[in-house]
Structure 1
């Protein structure tokens, strides 16, 4: 059987700061992120199956990414919990703001590594995460590919 890739696009707004960075991104600032999630698998070949002909229902993929990524990161401030930004996070959080502390520098690259683990854990057995592309700006993005992880 032939494998097919399907891709779903997600948008979310997130602020972050890069502790110790030597440029403007050391300050809290926001991005309109665009995330492309591509999975790969063999389309279901069973006339009795409600998802016949699909690798995976786009709606099911949407639920996974929305629950694992979008709902957690949208309109949040993401900061490195292993830096002095942890203290800043507590101050921001005390004022009823959504703060996400992560165990890494919150760059697009590291966010993709995090996202890949979270998404892969939720996919059906017969579907694999193929790639992720995260646009931080209209002309800057990072990519994660399963093939590059070996």
Structure 2
């Protein structure tokens, strides 16, 4: 049977800063991110299954990506854990949604993190094929499973 790729797009607002960077992105700033998630698999051919004809229910893919990425990062600040300095983030409400990560929060490294989280939640017969993360309207990074075998 033929394989089909499904893509779902997600949008979220997130701020970040790059630790020890030599340009403007060393300052906290935000982006309107667009994440495209593409999975690949064979359509279900079991006529008794309510998911017959589907590779994966778009709603199931949405649930995974929302829980693992969007709900956590939308309107959050993401910083390298090396930048942790608690007294800077003690303003009530303003820093309730700050995430310190063990990597530089670049578009590229975010994709590596996202790929790992999404792959861990996909059903056995579905594979993550591609991720594309737009940081701005004309700047993006892509992750392909075939490049990471």
Q: TM-score range by the shorter chain?
A: over 0.9
Q: Could you tell me which residue of structure 2 aligns to residue 140 of structure 1?
A: 139
Equivalence map 1:69-80=2 (5 Å)? 69-80=69-80
State the superposition RMSD in angstroms. 1.0
> Is 1:14–1:76's contact at 8 Å kept on the other side of the alignment?
yes
> Is 1:93–1:99's contact at 8 Å kept on the other side of the alignment?
no
How many Å apart are 1:95 and its aligned residue? 2.6
Q: Could you tell me which residue of structure 1 aligns to residue 115 of structure 2?
A: 116
Pair 1:18 & 2:15 matched? no
Deviations 1:25-48 (A, max 9, x none): 000000000000000000000100
3-state SS of the aligned residue for 1:68? helix
Equivalence map 1:1-150=2 (5 Å)? 1-81=1-81, 83=82, 85-87=83-85, 91-92=88-89, 94-96=91-93, 97=95, 98-150=97-149
> How many residues are aligned here?
147
Report the TM-score when normalising by structure 2: 0.96
Deviations 1:84-130 (A, max 9, x none): x1115x63255332101111000000000000000000000000000
Q: Which segments of structure 1 move beyond 3 Å, counting only runs of 4 or more?
A: none
Q: Gaps (5+ residues) in structure 1?
A: none
Report the TM-score when normalising by structure 1: 0.95
Q: Gaps (5+ residues) in structure 2?
A: none
